[in-house]
C-alpha cells in the first residue's frame, strides 16, 4: 500500500510540476507556487504530487483539510443524486436558500457551536468572515450608542455616509495584536501584522495594535518572566483603548488563540481570560478568530475552549477545515435588518454537507481526543530532539496537533524544511525560524514516528 510511507522519486518540484508552473506563469504570478498536486492519487495523510512523489502531508493545504485527501465517506456523498442538485445550483443564500437549509445548518454548524453561541452565518473564506464580523461589531456599537434597535437613516447620516464621512461613516476601530493574521482584504489587512509584504502599498486604518506576549521557552523555566510579559501586554491593551477613545473608539478586540502566521505564538489561558474581562470592562466586542485553530486540531473543537471563559466571546470566526467560512455570534451582536451583512453567495451550502459528514466521522472516531493524544506524542518527540540538538532546536510548543518548533541559525529553518520535503515530509513554516505542523485529524503516532525520524536526519544534515 503506497500510502503507508513517503516515497520520493524526483527533486521537488519535479519536472512535471516545473512544466505546469511554466504554463501557469504565462497566465498569472506563480511566486507563491510550490508544486502541483495529483488530487486523484492523494489519500488520507498522503499527498501525491504531479511527479508521483508520495508525501506525508503535515500541512494539509494550509491547515484546511480536516480528514486529509479523498476520504471515502466524503467521496460517497458526491454520488448522491440530491447532493448533485445542491452542488450545481448554487443559491444566493441570503435571499433564495434551498428548502433544506435550516436543517443543514442545524446538522452541521450548530452541531459544534462554541459554548454559549447559537447564532451563525456562513461566508466564503476566512478574510470575508472577519470582514463581515468587523462590520457586525461596528453596527452593534452604533446600535448601542444610539440606544435604538433599528438603524436611523436621518438626513445627516444618510448624506455623510454616502461620502464616507462622519457621522454616517463613524470613526471607530478594531484593536488587534502585533503578529496577528486575520486576512489580506482591505479591512482585515488593517488588523494583520505578520509580514510587511502583505501590507506594503495598501492604505490602512489608524487602528490600535497591541503587543502579543512573547513567551520564553521552556515555559516551566520562565514562569514569572512570562507572567510579567503577559501583564505588560494587557496593560498596553487598556492604555490603547483609552488613547483611541477620542479619535476612533475601539468597538471590538480581535485575537487568534494561537497566532499562526505570526510564528505560532502562544499565550496562557489566564491571559485570554483577562483580555476577555477587559473587553467586558469597556463594553467592547470580543472576537476570537478560529480560522486556523478551529475544528478540533488543538484537542478541543474550538481552541478558545481551553481558556475556561466565564462569558463566551461575542464572535467566533471560522473557515479552512470547516469547509466554509463564517462566524458564530451572540444575541447581542445579532443585527436586526436584512442586507447589512450580505453578499451574493454567503458561503456555499454544498460545503455544509461535507462538514456535516466530517463532524459525524470526527465524533464516531473520537478524533478530537486523538488530536490531543497524538499531539502530545509529537511534542514529546520534539522535546527529545531539542535535547539531541540543543544548539539548533528550541521552543517546541503546541496545543493538540497544532505544533511548532524553532530552528535557530541563518537559513537553518529553510534548509531543514527543504530537507524534510526531499525526504517526503511536507511541513509549514511560520515566523522567521519556525516550522509548523497542521496535520489532518487522522494523523496518528505512526505518522509522528516517520516525521521525527526524518526530522532527526534533517537536523543532522544542517
Ligand X SMILES: Cc1ncc(COP(=O)(O)O)c(CNc2csc(C(=O)O)c2)c1O
The residues binding ligand X (CB under 6 A) are 62, 125-127, 130, 181-184, 256, 260-261, 289, 291-292, 319
In the complex with ligand X, which residue's Cβ is closer, 211 or 218? Answer: 211
Contacts of 402 (CB under 8 A, 6+ apart): 258, 264, 293, 297, 298, 303, 375, 437, 438
Helical ranges in 147-222 per DSSP H: 155-161, 186-189, 196-199
Catalytic residue among 49, 51, 57, 289: 289
The answer to whether residue 95 is catalytic is: no
Contact predicate 164/240, CB 8 Å: no
In the complex, minimum distance from the CB of residue 129 to ligand X, in angstroms, rounded to a whole number:
7
Task: Answer for the pair 353, 77: CB distance below 8 angstroms, yes or no.
Answer: yes
Beta strand 54-57 with 425-426 is parallel
Nearer to ligand X, 123 or 450 (CB): 123
Residue 344 annotated in active site: yes
Q: Which long-range contacts (CB under 8 A, 24 or more apart) does 160-167 make?
A: none
Tell me if 438 sits within 8 A of 428, measured CB to CB. Answer: yes
Which residue number, 259 or 396, has a Cβ lying nearer to ligand X? 259
To the nearest whole angstrom, how small is the minimum distance from the Cβ of residue 261 to ligand X?
A: 5
Instruction: Identify the active-site residue in 138, 181, 286, 323.
Output: 181
* The Cα angle at residue 365 between residues 360 and 370, in degrees rounded to 5: 120
Compute the least distance from the CB of residue 418 to ligand X, in Å. Answer: 19
30 is catalytic: no
The strand pairing partners of 318, in sequence order, are: 326
Q: Is the dihedral of CA 51, 54, 60, 66 positive or negative?
A: positive
Is 358 an annotated catalytic residue?
A: no
**Which residue number, 198 or 383, has a Cβ lying nearer to ligand X?**
198
Min separation Cβ 74 and ligand X, Å: 20
Closer to ligand X by CB, 291 or 435: give it: 291
Containing H/E element for 253? strand 250-255
Nearest residue to the partner ligand X, using Cβ: 126
CB-nearer residue toward ligand X: 430 or 450 = 430
Count, residues in the chain: 462
Active-site option among 143, 300, 320, 321? 320
Q: How far is the CB of 317 from ligand X (least distance, A)?
A: 7
Question: Considering the complex, what minimum distance in angstroms separates the CB of residue 260 from ligand X?
Answer: 5
| 404, β-bridge pairs | 397, 436
Round to whole Å and give the CA distance between 320 and 329. Answer: 18
Active site residues: 181, 289, 320, 344
Amino acid at each position: 500500500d503506497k500510502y503507508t510511507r513517503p516515497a520520493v522519486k524526483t527533486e521537488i518540484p519535479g519536472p512535471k510540476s516545473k512544466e505546469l508552473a511554466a504554463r501557469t506563469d504565462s497566465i498569472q504570478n506563480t511566486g507563491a507556487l510550490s508544486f502541483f498536486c495529483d488530487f486523484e492519487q492523494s489519500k488520507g495523510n498522503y499527498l501525491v504530487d504531479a511527479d508521483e512523489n508520495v508525501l506525508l502531508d503535515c500541512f494539509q493545504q494550509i491547515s484546511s483539510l480536516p480528514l486529509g485527501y479523498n476520504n471515502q465517506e466524503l467521496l460517497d456523498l458526491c454520488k448522491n443524486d440530491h447532493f448533485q442538485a445542491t452542488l450545481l445550483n448554487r443559491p444566493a443564500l441570503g435571499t433564495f436558500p434551498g428548502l433544506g437549509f435550516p436543517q443543514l445548518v442545524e446538522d452541521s454548524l450548530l452541531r459544534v457551536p462554541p459554548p454559549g453561541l447559537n447564532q451563525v452565518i456562513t461566508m466564503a473564506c476566512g478574510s470575508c468572515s472577519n470582514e463581515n464580523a468587523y462590520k457586525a461589531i461596528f453596527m452593534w456599537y452604533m446600535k448601542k450608542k444610539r440606544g435604538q434597535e433599528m438603524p436611523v437613516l436621518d438626513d445627516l447620516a444618510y448624506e455623510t455616509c454616502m461620502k464616507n464621512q462622519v457621522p454616517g461613516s463613524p470613526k471607530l476601530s478594531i484593536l488587534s495584536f502585533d503578529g496577528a493574521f486575520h486576512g489580506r482584504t482591505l479591512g482585515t489587512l488593517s488588523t494583520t501584522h505578520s509580514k510587511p509584504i502583505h501590507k506594503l502599498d495598501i492604505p490602512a486604518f489608524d487602528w490600535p495594535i497591541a503587543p502579543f506576549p512573547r513567551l520564553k521557552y521552556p515555559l516551566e523555566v520562565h514562569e514569572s518572566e512570562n507572567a510579567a510579559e503577559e501583564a505588560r501586554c494587557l496593560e498596553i491593551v487598556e492604555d490603547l483603548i483609552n488613547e483611541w477613545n477620542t479619535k476612533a473608539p475601539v468597538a471590538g478586540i480581535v485575537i487568534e488563540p494561537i497566532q499562526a502566521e505570526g510564528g505560532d505564538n502562544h499565550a496562557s489561558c489566564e491571559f485570554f481570560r483577562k483580555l476577555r474581562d477587559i473587553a467586558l470592562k469597556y463594553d467592547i466586542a470580543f472576537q476570537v478568530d478560529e480560522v486556523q485553530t478551529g475544528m478540533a486540531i488543538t484537542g478541543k473543537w474550538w481552541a478558545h475552549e481551553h481558556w475556561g471563559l466565564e462569558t463566551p466571546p461575542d464572535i467566533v470566526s471560522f473557515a479552512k477545515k470547516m469547509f466554509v467560512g463564517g462566524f458564530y455570534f451572540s444575541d447581542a451582536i445579532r443585527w436586526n435588518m436584512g442586507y447589512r451583512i450580505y453578499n451574493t453567495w454567503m458561503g456555499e451550502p454544498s460545503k455544509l454537507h461535507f462538514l456535516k459528514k466530517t463532524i459525524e466521522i470526527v465524533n464516531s472516531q473520537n478524533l478530537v481526543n486523538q488530536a490531543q493524544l497524538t499531539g502530545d506524542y509529537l511534542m514529546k518527540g520534539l522535546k527529545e530532539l531539542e535535547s539531541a540538538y540543543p544548539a539548533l532546536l528550541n521552543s517546541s510548543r503546541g496545543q493538540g496537533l497544532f505544533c511548532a518548533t524553532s530552528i535557530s541559525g541563518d537559513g537553518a529553518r529553510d534548509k531543514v524544511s527543504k530537507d524534510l520535503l526531499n525526504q517526503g515530509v511536507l511541513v509549514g513554516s511560520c515566523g522567521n525560524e519556525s516550522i509548523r505542523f497542521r496535520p489532518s485529524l487522522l494523523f496518528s503516532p505512526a505518522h509522528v514516528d516517520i516525521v521525527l525520524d526524518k526530522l532527526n536526519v534533517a537536523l543532522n544534515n544542517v
